[in-house]
Amino acid sequence: MKISRFRKLAIVIGFLSIALTLHAQDIASFEKRITVKKLANGLTIVLMERPEAPVFSFYTRVNAGSVQEGPGITGLAHMFEHMAFKGTQEIGTTNWPAEKAALEKVETAYAAYLKENLKEVGRDEKKVAELEKAWQTATEAADEFVVVNEFGEIVESQGGVGLNASTDRDETTYYYSFPQNRLELWAYLETERFLEPVMRQFYKERDVVYEERRMSVDSSPQGRLLEQFLRAAFIAHPYGRPVIGWPSDLRAFSATDATNFFRKYYVPANMVVTVVGDVKAAEAMPIIEKYFGRIPARPAPEPLRTQEPPQQALRSVLLHDHSQPLYVEGYHRPDFHDPDDAVYDMLSDLLSKGRTSRLYRSLVRDKRIAIAAQGGSYPGNKYPNLFFFFAAPSQGHTANDMAGPIHEEIERLKTQDVSDDELQSVRTRAKADLIRGLGNDQGLAVQLGEYQALYGDWRELFRQIEQLDKVTKADIRRVANKTFREENRTVATMETEAPKPKPTAPATGEQK
């Protein structure tokens, strides 16, 4: 379950140079091999025939992520994703009716415990302990019926590889690959887990997810810095909240919360499923429809209301850390539907791609003040997000040393035209990278699914080139001037502080 940047990556590589021919890779050749079908319940299926070997990969993309969470339930989109591996009413249980009854008791006991534990007035420690014990006892009773990890076990013993999922701010995705003769088994398994998900062992899994937070945020210097950076950059929009969730919420949200989230957002009209590999549309589509058609249609969720207000002044966060320094700054930019989206992609490539990129040549090669430097869009796509600049100072340099040279590069973009060679180089690389991404089932499934979901048409994977070709030197200067303004900037720096012999508190203030 990783926070993927597939989508952004896919968009960056989605430029094609029209000047160059794409014999086997053009839209026409893909048209012949791709079938798209929208089922009666609203679910979209994209199927691509690629019989290179008797295998296939799939990618289920749910148009809901951590952005859909509110206060008190941060981390829930990701938590649900973990629960989608817990089995079904058939898989993972020795006796579903009995387990169901036991799980209902767990929820009742947990609600009572949580209510007392969070009481603002008159909280009774003794009562909290009793209720916690009652909840634990109910949990143990429910555990009696569990066949541990049977869902994953079936996938693996049937030859599945790469079984995983990912939750990001904009979306949640599920994927693995199977031998070609397990297509129907896959269709069965993938729909069963989204028909009636079972909140089995929810609270133990919540502990697992909390460990994931400790690993990826609390105990990681970059994790600590980025959490603070986004928190500062967004004051209203949910992009400012961590996908993994705040510690308090990871100790509070319930299985009932997760079920409610599922019912609201895991709606067929909100999902795209892509299958790529040794499949024939004429045979596979009826099978897929037979199973995925079982998911009942439900109303699509309401769109997000909150928008980030324009930033009024520079924001800055400084972390004193035991680690070596890091620097990141970001500027608000519009979402991927904006007409300037391709300009930002161009900027990202110019600044970051390879040893000819501007940030590498300036900060790493010539000034030798950084060991890595890059810029790009983060942390999402669907809503207005950030264009960031990041640098890891080389030994002997501070995080603050990065600011000047980064701003010099920004100034260059604002005041001087990029060269024709640079523009052409970006277009050529984009074309080649697009081609390089077409050579395996899983990568294709991801890209086709992304574009189908974001643009409503997988063909945009190839058409984005037209947008790139339209980008002019003047566009680059205009967008740089529009975006890279001081009052639109958020800076986060990590400066090194030697460890003290007796630290007063852990960096994260974790409860015990």
Partner 1 sequence: MNKMKLLLFVIAELVLNCLLVNGLALNAAAQAKKPIPPKVPQATATPSTAPASSWQKVPIPPLHQFKPQEPRRVELSNGIVIFLQEDHELPLIDGTIRIRGGSREEPADKVGMVALYADVWRTGGTKSKTGDELDDFLEAHAARVEASESADSTFISWSSLKENYDQVFPVVLDLLQNPEFRQDKIDLAKQQFASLISRRNDDLDEISQRESTKLAYGPENPYSRSAEYNTVDAITREDLLQWHKRTIAPVNMILGIAGDFDSAAMEQKLRQAFGSMPRGERVVPAKITFRDPSPGIYFVEKNDVNQSAIQLVDLGIDRHNPDYYAVEVMNELFGGGFSSRLFASIRTKQGLAYSVGGGVGTAFDHPGITRFSMGTKSATTAAGIDALRKEINGLIKGMVQPIEMKRAKDAILNSFIFEFDSKQKVLAERMRYEFYGFPPDFLEQYRAGIEKVTSADVDRVARKYLHPEKMAVLVVGNAKDFDRDLSTFGKVNTIDITIPPPTKAGKPGSK
Q: How far is the CB of 324 from partner 1 (least distance, A)?
A: 5
Would you list the DSSP string of 338-349?
Answer: STTHHHHHHHHH
Looking at the Cβ atoms of 97 and 309, the one nearer to partner 1 is 97
Q: How far is the CB of 404 from partner 1 (least distance, A)?
A: 16
Record the tokens describing residue 202, joined without a space.
């929810």
DSSP one-letter code for 2: -
Looking at the Cβ atoms of 248 and 415, the one nearer to partner 1 is 248
Looking at the Cβ atoms of 27 and 432, the one nearer to partner 1 is 432
Please, are residues 178 and 158 in contact by the beta-carbon 8 Å criterion? yes
Enumerate residues 6+ apart whose C-beta is below 8 A from 366: none
Looking at the Cβ atoms of 117 and 158, the one nearer to partner 1 is 158
Cα separation of 119 and 416, whole Å? 60
How many Cβ atoms are within 10 Å of 282's Cβ, its own excluded? 9
Looking at the Cβ atoms of 130 and 212, the one nearer to partner 1 is 212
Question: Peptide bond preceding 379: is omega within 30 degrees of 0, i.e. cis?
Answer: yes
Cα separation of 349 and 371, whole Å? 18
Looking at the Cβ atoms of 216 and 452, the one nearer to partner 1 is 216
The CA-based dihedral angle spanning residues 402, 221, 229, 243, taken in that order and rounded to the nearest 10 degrees: 140
Q: How far is the CB of 282 from partner 1 (least distance, A)?
A: 8
Q: How far is the CB of 498 from partner 1 (least distance, A)?
A: 11
Cα separation of 5 and 142, whole Å? 38
Q: How far is the CB of 286 from partner 1 (least distance, A)?
A: 6
Q: How far is the CB of 207 from partner 1 (least distance, A)?
A: 3
Q: How far is the CB of 305 from partner 1 (least distance, A)?
A: 26
Please, are residues 234 and 330 in contact by the beta-carbon 8 Å criterion? no
Looking at the Cβ atoms of 47 and 123, the one nearer to partner 1 is 47
DSSP one-letter code for 416: S
Cα separation of 417 and 479, whole Å? 12
Q: How far is the CB of 122 from partner 1 (least distance, A)?
A: 29
Looking at the Cβ atoms of 139 and 274, the one nearer to partner 1 is 139
Enumerate residues 6+ apart whose C-beta is below 8 A from 438: 25, 444
Q: Where would I find the beta strands (DSSP E) of 286-445?
A: 315-321, 326-333, 370-378, 385-393
Cα separation of 275 and 329, whole Å? 39
